[in-house]
Each structure stands twice: as C-alpha cells, then as structure tokens.
Amino acid sequence: MHIHKYEKIWLIFGLTTLLIFLSVLGVSAFYLGNQPPSCLATINPEKVDTTKPFNKPGLKKVKGKAWDYELVFVASAFNYNPGEIEVPKGAKVKVIATTKDVIHGFEVAGTNINMMLEPGFISEFETTFDKTGEFLIVCNEYCGAGHHMMTSKIKVVES
Amino acid sequence: MAQPGLQKKTSTKTEDTSSLKGTLISVFLVGLFLIITWVGVFYLFMDRF
C-alpha cells in the first residue's frame, strides 16, 4: 500500500499526541490514584445527621492519614453546613461532603474542587490549600427554588 | 456558419494532485491549536488547588 510521505508524518504526529494525552490520563488515574469525587462510598441519606463524620460538619485535624485535615460539609436545600469555614494555608485537606435530600453541586469557585453531591453517596476531594483568600462555594446543580441562594465560603488564612 | 465542435481543441490544465503541502500545513495548524489549548487547560488545572 502506498502512503504519501506527508500522510505518514501527520499520522505519526497524531498518534503520538494521542498517546501522550492518554498516558497523562493513565498516570493520573493509576499512578497518582485520582478518581471521581463520588467513588462508591455510600451513606443512608436519612441518617446523615447521625452518621460519622457528618454528625459534626466542619474542619477536623486528623492523624495518621495522608492528609492533615478533614473538611466535612453537609448540603441540604438550600444551604451548606458549615456556612463559612477557615482553613490554614498549606493544609492538606480531604473535603468530604454529602447531601440530605436532593442532588446538589459543590463547586469552590476558582479551584479544582467541583463535585456533584448525590443522596446516598459520599463525595471526596483531596487537595492542598496553598493560596490565601476567600473562596465561594456554590451549588451548580439545580436543586429547587432557593438554588441560587445556596452558598458557603472557605477562607484560607495564613497559619 | 456553424462550427463543428469535434475539431475544437480544448486544453485542460491538470493540477498536480500529489502535492499535499497545503494539507500538511493545515493538519499541523489544527494539531498545534489542539496542543496549545490542551496544554493551557492542563496548566490551569495544575496551577489551581
């Protein structure tokens, strides 16, 4: 089969870039262990308030784990608990969140933290808060009449 | 007076269809656009927390 020289060039170019992009994904998933925020951890949505760690939402220091803090959020129509939280700069935090009623969004504007909170499932995101500032949390899944009022705030402060 | 068409000589220009230089450039322009936008988004992702 005859293939033009230029065709060979762009076929190799295309395949190489495809392989690079896919390798980045593969390294992220299988080596760095990145996974979707909601990854098979379940909870009884009717007993959120009495289930650990959601019985005490907020920031908690933990020991013996790969992260220093756990930041627990409970979402319900139409608010987040806690409504505002301070996090020390540089803290390695695991954000753990769930919802008591319908599907809510959990987007920390201007960051990579962006999860969907589904009733019955726990969503988690691990990150290091390495910039100070105020970060608005918004619901980005339409959840009802008060959807647009549903916010919270993370303040990253110098420790 | 009618002219018999058969005797008319028409010359058709044939382009060299085997030249793919323009195609090569176009392919690489699209490729570069994809790479630049991909790297841009990836940088944004790595820069944010």
d(CA A65, CA A89): 19
Coil/strand/helix, residue B30 = helix
Out of A14, A21, A127, the one facing B49 most closely (by C-beta) is A127
Instruction: Confirm if A117 and A95 have CB atoms less than 8 A apart.
Output: no
Chain B residues lying within 8 Å of A24, measured CB to CB: 42
A64-115 tens-digit pLDDT: 999 999 999 999 999 999 999 999 999 999 999 999 999 999 999 999 999 9
The alpha carbon of A54 is separated from its chain's Cα centroid by a whole number of angstroms, namely 16
Residue A15 structure tokens: 């395949």
pTM (2 d.p.): 0.79
Spell out which residues of chain A touch residue B42, defining contact as CB-CB under 8 Å. 24
- Residue burial A108-119, b: 16+ Cβ < 10 Å; e: rest: beebebebbbbb
Residue B1: is its pLDDT beyond 70? no
ipTM of the predicted assembly exceeds 0.95: no
Task: Give how far A91 is from chain B: nearest CA, Å.
Answer: 11
